[in-house]
Amino acid sequence: MFIQSEATPNPATLKFLPGQTVLPNGALDLKDSAAADRSPLASALFAIPGVAGVFLGPDFISVTKSDGEWQTLKPQVLGAILEHYSSGAPILRADAEPVAADAEFFDPKDAETVETIKELLESRVRPAVAGDGGDITFRGFRDGVVFLEMKGSCSGCPSSTATLKNGVQNLLRHFVPEVASVEQI
């Protein structure tokens, strides 16, 4: 098995590509070792000193470090991923609770606008953000403001504000006149 790694715009996060499916449906953002109990792979990664976050995407794993140098951590992360896939263990434990979707908020009269926003996010924004080892999800729409959540390498990334304001906000405002601005939750 050959695992590729890629830098992300967030210097604290590396993206690892195992060359096979990680999560067939959706993504999972694990911010601490307690949350990682649902995944043997995430538990193994959090056992490495210096690992602060694990994001499981459809075909990639983003790992965020709290301290230390990537030249020291990267071989340990690669080893943990390789060992996991070699063991044949599942990504998620069989008894793991399903991922609860965070509640969305918007006025029902804005349902058509919200559907357009979600379609644009799904077709144009999420693929680009996944390319950088992260994810972006819709959380709400109120008074012309779209509320989004950044996950994976995008969470805490120095360029996430620029991505939201210069990229996502401009795109949404172009296609959806009701959008005045975009804010991160």
80 & 110 share domain: no
3-state secondary structure of 111: helix
Q: State the Cα–Cα distance between residues 9 and 13, nearest whole angstrom.
A: 8
15 & 55 share domain: yes
If one counts every other C-beta atom within 10 angstroms of the C-beta of residue 123, the result is 9
Residues 134/150, Cβ–Cβ less than 8 Å: yes
Secondary structure of the chain: what % helix, strand, coil (to 5)? 35, 25, 40
Q: What is the phi/psi pair of residue 172, to 5°?
A: -65, -40
56 & 119 share domain: no
What the block records as the tokens of 4 is 């590729």
Domain closes at, from 58, 87, 116: 87
What the block records as the tokens of 24 is 């067939």
For residue 98, count CB atoms less than 10 angstroms from its CB and return exposed for 0-12, middle for 13-18, buried for 19 or more.
exposed
Predicted TM-score of the model (pTM): 0.69
Residue 92 lies in a domain: no
DSSP 184: E
Tokens 């950044």 — which residue? 150
70 & 117 share domain: no
Q: What is the pLDDT along the chain (185 residues), one digit of tens a residue?
A: 789 998 887 888 899 999 998 888 777 888 888 888 889 999 999 999 999 999 888 889 999 999 889 999 999 999 999 999 999 999 988 776 545 556 788 889 999 999 999 999 999 988 888 877 778 889 889 888 888 888 776 666 666 677 777 788 899 999 999 988 888 77
Please work out, in degrees rounded to the nearest 5, the angle formed at the alpha carbon of residue 19 by the alpha carbons of 86 and 119. 130
CA distances from 162 to 2, 8, 80, 167, 182 (A): 33, 15, 33, 7, 11
pLDDT of the residue at 177: 92
180 & 110 share domain: yes
Q: State the Cα–Cα distance between residues 115 and 151, nearest whole angstrom.
A: 21
CATH number at residue 43: 3.30.1370.70
Domain encompassing residue 138: 105-184
